[in-house]
Structure formats: C-alpha cells, structure tokens
C-alpha cells in the first residue's frame, strides 16, 4: 500500500517519537514513568502522574507493546515491565477512584490482558483477574453507558477477560452489564438510545464513538458476534438508527450534541429546538465526535449485516474526512480530537496520499512547536496516547503493521469457537420482549397469550398489539393500551434529564415573576397549560375526569387530579384563558344558580390560590410574563 520511500519516512518519524519518549521518562531500579500535565487553572498546568489509557502511562505502555511486536527489541519489554510495576503498585490503582476503560482502572486491566496476549506472561492475566474481582462492583456501576468513560467500555473489557480466563464470575459480570444495557435502553423517534439521565450534558443522548451511540453500538456488535447473540446485534443496529436522526446531510456529518455553557446562553434555549443549536453542531469531526469515529462502527455494521444503508453512511463519513483534509486548517493531530484520529477510516480505503499528508503536516507542526496540538499549552509536555505525542507514534505503528480492527481506536475481541454460551439468552426475540414489555406492562398483563415480539420496533409492536386487541373487543384492555400508547408517544419525544433541567430553570424564573403579581393582576392575566403536561382522558370518562402525564427530569409520571384542578387545566389546554374567565367557568360549573357575592368572593379567592399552586408546580403558566415584568 505504501511505497518503500513512504515506509522509510514513517519509520523515521516513529523512532523520533520513540527517542523523545525515552529521553523524557523517569527511571529507578524498578520503575519507569512519564509525568502528566494537569491544569490547575485554565492558563496554568503542573506535572502529576496519570495511569489511564487516555493521557497517562497505560497508554504509553500500549505504544511500547505495539513497538515490541513491530521490531522485537527486547528493551521495549524492559520498559513495559518497569512501567507496569509502578502502575500496579500505585496508590491510585490500589485504591482507584475511576473505573472506566479509557479513563480509569479499566485501562490498567486492559493493559494487563494485552501484555498477556503478546508475551503469554501469566502474571498479567492473573493480575487482570484479581483487579477485576476485587473491584467488580465499581467496574459495573459506572453512571454512563458510553465506550470511553462508561460501562460499555467495561463490557468489552470484561468480555476480553472472560475469553482468557473462562472465569464464571467474570461471565456473570458480562451478563450483568448486558442486562443493564437492555434495562436502560429507551425509545426515541427512531431506534434506541442510552444515557438519557443526568450523566450527559447534551441536547439528547449523544452521537459519536467515544461518548455516544456509535461507541455503544461498536461494543454491542463485538460482544454480539463473540457470543452469537442476535439480540445484541439488534440493539447495536437500533443505536445506529437512533444516531441517524442527527445526521446532517449538508455537512455530511453527525451532529455533536454536547451543550456547554456557551451554547446555552441563548434567549430561547428553554424551547429546546434543535435549530437553536444547529449552527455549532456540524463542525466537529474527529475520532471522539463526528464522522471519523462514527465511520468505524458503520464499517463494522456493514461487514456484519451487508445492509446497503451502511454503505451510504461509510461513504458520507469518508467524504466528510476528505473535505476536512482539503482545508487542513486545524493544528491538532492528536488521536482523540485531531487529524490522526481520521487515519483508521482512511486506512480502510487505502488512501495513502491523504494519510501521508496528515503525518507530514503533523511532523512539520511538531518541528515548529514541539507539539501535536497547539490549541492547548500542555501539548508540548503531553505524551498521552489519545491526547498527545504517543498517539502519533501509535497510529504510525498501526499503518506499518497493517492492522485492521483491534487497536485502541477500535478495540476488538478475539474469535470465539464456543459462541452459543449466551446466544439463546440474548437472542433477538428475548431482547425485544424485554424492551417492548417495558412500555406496555399493563396491556400485556391482560393479554396473557400475546407473543408477537418479532416486531421490528416499538411502533410495529404497537400495531400488532392494536390488531390483536381489536379482535378481542375488551374495553379494559383497550383502555390500558390507549394510555400506554400515549405514554410511548411522550417517551419518544423525551430528550433526557439535561433538557428538562434547562427548561426547569426557565420555568422557575417565569413562575417567580408570576407569583409576584397581586391577586387582582393575576385575574387580568391569560393562562395556558405548560407544554410538559399532557392531559389524558379515558375513552369513556366522566366530565372533568382526567389523568395528567408529566414529562420531567426523571421521565414521565402519571397523577390524578381533583375536579377543581381539572376544570382549570381543561380550560387552559387548548387556548389561553383569562383569570376572570376562569372564575366565570368555575362559577357556572360549580353552582346551578348565580352565587351570592360572598360565595363568589370565596370562589375567586380559592381559584387564585389554586392558580398560584399550579404555577408553582409548573402545570400552568402566565402568557407574556416578560412583558408583564416590564
């Protein structure tokens, strides 16, 4: 693929990085390590020590392990063993605070397994198993689901550990994490998503390889293939279907849905419309976020399923990368966020000239600045694998070794000859049964013989349920089905914890302004039902009988309300209703004859008190409150 001249140039660049690493490590009789820059404020960093794969010593050890496989220089093993001796005996590893694959203890365990793969040194396999069993709870209880810092990364890790140990408790941990993925899957407009909770500050569950749907799908594809579990492949494809909601054709890119403070300083942020944030969501393209990383999962999905839709996705990912390389206007060549993270996608198409261009520009930038990323001042001193200099050497090794899948940018699993061990437990029908049943528990409890779980998705499942119920003609079952179908429609629009936290801030401000109005002023205002409230009325219901379906930070909940509240909410559901008109409505509903003055006064007072409570609860809101405040 590369010419002899290009290979020689790559080797020279590789060994310059190697020499730089050797010049900058610290060494004692038993240990080797590299200091890691840590920012103590936005403008200043100091040197500490990190043991993770992302920017610490574990990542550098992986580079030396790859280098040993490439040139078989025994001195690399000396460096590896001394570096791992320090890592394995460090206080931060003996009593870890972080447990993720790329950013915590998971990376240490991963390193031990990778060293065992190459050297067959049983010490490292036993160390990986001991660390896992000692910290099994922490390794499986990470808050996030993602690949880089969540439990999906650990699922891949534990599967790898099981492959080499066949330990029954490790297999139990694999099951536990698969079960958690099934339990935490949530429906969307299309496909399934994860991390809808407080774990992510994003517009919706994220896209991308490091923190989003593609990384989760990558793990599910790997584990599904390993165990021949068709249900896990189904989940992976549903994650990719979800991600396609946020593919932006004009940019040939998947949107970066992260929302930092600068993106939230918009006047209409509470409306949570994608168009509000869209201009800033199309630009990012790297291994971590955007087409370069997403393209890796799409390639694997194409290889496994042969579906033509993935061909178009792969083509879009490649074209976006090529468009970015025509500009080459960023001075970041790191694996995580820079141009070198695009190389795996380019390698799969054997685009040697583009790869050559990236590495030439990386070399020139380093020669001028002593850094591969000038956006951060620590680039000069960062030897991290994903964040710094080591990553450039690592990707050069991947090129020279002719690697496909299974390096730190696309970690894989070995082939498994005994695939059926979890295949039946996690076949496609079993997975669908678990997911669909979450949304129709009341209906299914009354349809005891219903078993049509082969539906493509929740909407196709709903149609099958509806067809079955129409044959039975049971009002009780139909009532449950109609309510749960309404809940399904609300769930598919729910954008997760963070969206409602932002809306809630706005509601609190508006409510605070409204509650400062006098009773007389409130009577002259117009009210409307909050957009987070859905009124549900059973098909055969009494007047003013209703159920409130409330979307909030924690999901969707149901509450019943009394007649007095029901009248107010009914009136404000479809149109704005003035306070004075609400009093008249209550008067005509509650009194057959015109009430006397005292009764009307008491009714008005009671209604205003109730309105204040409903405003405070976020059920109704005053229209044009900003104008009132002026």
The 3-state secondary structure of 175-207, one letter per residue = HHHHHHHHHHCEECCCCEECCCCCCCCECCCCC
Residue 472 token pair: 């039975």
Q: Which of 73, 47, 67 is nearest to 114 (CA)?
A: 67
In this prediction, residue 301 carries a pLDDT of: 97
Place 417 in a pLDDT band, splitting at 50, 70 and 90.
confident
SS3 283: coil
Residue 237, judged by CB atoms within 10 A of its CB (0-12, 13-18, 19+), counts as buried
Is the Cα dihedral 571, 574, 579, 585 positive or negative? Answer: negative
Q: CA distances (Å), 603 to each of 30, 515, 570, 621, in order? A: 84, 19, 18, 20
pLDDT digits (tens, 9 = 90+) for 264-293: 888 888 899 999 999 889 999 999 999 999
Place 562 in a pLDDT band, splitting at 50, 70 and 90.
confident
Place 564 in a pLDDT band, splitting at 50, 70 and 90.
confident
Place 533 in a pLDDT band, splitting at 50, 70 and 90.
very high
pLDDT digits (tens, 9 = 90+) for 17-62: 999 999 999 999 999 999 999 999 988 999 999 999 999 999 999 9
Does residue 242 contact residue 190 with C-beta atoms inside 8 Å?
A: yes
Place 405 in a pLDDT band, splitting at 50, 70 and 90.
low
Place 600 in a pLDDT band, splitting at 50, 70 and 90.
confident
pLDDT digits (tens, 9 = 90+) for 326-361: 999 999 999 999 999 999 999 999 999 999 999 999
Most confident of 536-550, 570-584, 588-602: 570-584
Checking phi first, is residue 427 left (phi over 0); if not, alpha (psi -120 to 50) or beta?
Answer: beta
Taking each continuous run of H as one helix and of E as one strand, the counts in the chain are 28, 14
pTM tops 0.85: yes
Q: Kindly state the average pLDDT of the residues 361-383.
A: 97
């Amino acid at each position: 693929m590369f010419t002899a001249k290009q290979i020689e140039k790559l080797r020279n660049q590789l060994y310059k990085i190697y020499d730089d690493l050797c010049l900058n490590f610290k060494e004692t009789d038993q240990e080797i390590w590299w200091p890691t820059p840590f920012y103590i404020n936005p403008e200043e960093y100091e040197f500490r020590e990190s043991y993770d794969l992302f920017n610490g010593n574990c990542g550098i050890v992986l580079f030396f392990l790859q280098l040993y496989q490439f040139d078989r220089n025994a001195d690399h093993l000396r460096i590896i063993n001394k570096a791992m001796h320090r890592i394995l005996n460090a206080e931060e590893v003996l009593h870890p605070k972080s447990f993720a694959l790329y950013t915590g203890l998971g990376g240490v365990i991963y390193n031990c397994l990778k060293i065992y793969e190459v050297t067959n040194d049983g010490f490292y396999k036993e160390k990986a198993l001991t660390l896992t069993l000692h910290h099994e709870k922490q390794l499986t209880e990470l808050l996030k689901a993602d690949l880089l810092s969540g439990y999906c990364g650990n699922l891949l890790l534990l599967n790898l550990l099981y492959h080499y140990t066949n330990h029954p408790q490790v297999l139990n941990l694999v099951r536990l994490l698969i079960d958690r993925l099934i339990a935490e899957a949530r429906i969307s407009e299309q496909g399934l998503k994860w991390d809808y909770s407080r774990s992510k500050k994003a517009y919706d569950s994220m896209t991308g390889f490091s923190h989003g749907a593609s990384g989760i799908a990558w793990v599910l594809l790997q584990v599904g293939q390993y165990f021949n579990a068709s249900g896990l492949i189904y989940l992976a494809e549903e994650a990719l279907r979800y991600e396609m909601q946020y593919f932006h054709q004009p940019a040939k890119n998947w949107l970066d849905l992260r929302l930092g403070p600068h993106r939230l300083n918009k006047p209409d942020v509470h409306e949570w419309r994608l168009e509000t944030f869209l201009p800033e969501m199309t630009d990012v393209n790297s291994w971590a976020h955007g087409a370069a990383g997403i393209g890796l999962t799409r390639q694997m999905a194409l290889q496994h399923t042969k579906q033509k839709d993935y061909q178009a996705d792969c083509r879009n990912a490649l074209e976006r990368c090529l468009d970015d390389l025509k500009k080459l206007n960023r001075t970041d060549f790191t694996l995580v966020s820079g141009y070198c993270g695009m190389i795996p996608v380019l390698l799969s198409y054997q685009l040697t000239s583009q790869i050559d261009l990236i590495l030439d520009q990386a070399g020139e930038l380093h020669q001028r600045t002593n850094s591969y990323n000038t956006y951060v001042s620590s680039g000069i001193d960062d030897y991290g694998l994903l964040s710094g200099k080591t990553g450039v050497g690592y990707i050069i090794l991947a090129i020279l070794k002719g690697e496909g899948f299974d390096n730190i940018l696309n970690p894989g699993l070995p082939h498994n000859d005994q695939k059926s061990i979890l295949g039946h437990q996690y076949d496609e029908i079993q997975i669908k049964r678990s997911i669909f049943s979450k949304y129709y528990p009341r209906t299914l409890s009354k349809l005891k013989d219903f078993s049509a779980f082969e539906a493509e998705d929740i909407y196709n499942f709903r149609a099958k349920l509806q067809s079955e119920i129409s044959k039975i003609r049971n009002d009780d079952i139909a009532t449950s089905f109609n309510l749960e179908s309404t809940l399904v429609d609300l769930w598919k629009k729910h954008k997760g914890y963070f969206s409602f936290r932002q809306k809630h801030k706005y509601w609190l401000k508006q409510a605070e302004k409204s509650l400062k109005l006098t009773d007389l002023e409130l009577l002259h205002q117009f009210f409307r039902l909050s957009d987070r409230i859905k009124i549900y009325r059973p098909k055969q219901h009494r007047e003013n009988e209703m159920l409130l379906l409330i979307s909030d930070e924690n999901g969707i909940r149901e509450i019943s309300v009394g007649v007095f509240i029901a009248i107010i909410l009914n009136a404000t559901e479809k149109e704005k209703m003035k306070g004075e008109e609400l009093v008249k409505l209550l008067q005509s509903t509650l009194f057959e004859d015109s009430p006397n003055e005292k009764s009307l006064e008491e009714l008005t007072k009671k209604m205003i008190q109730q309105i204040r409570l409903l405003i405070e609860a976020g059920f109704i809101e005053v229209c044009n409150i900003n104008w009132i405040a002026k």
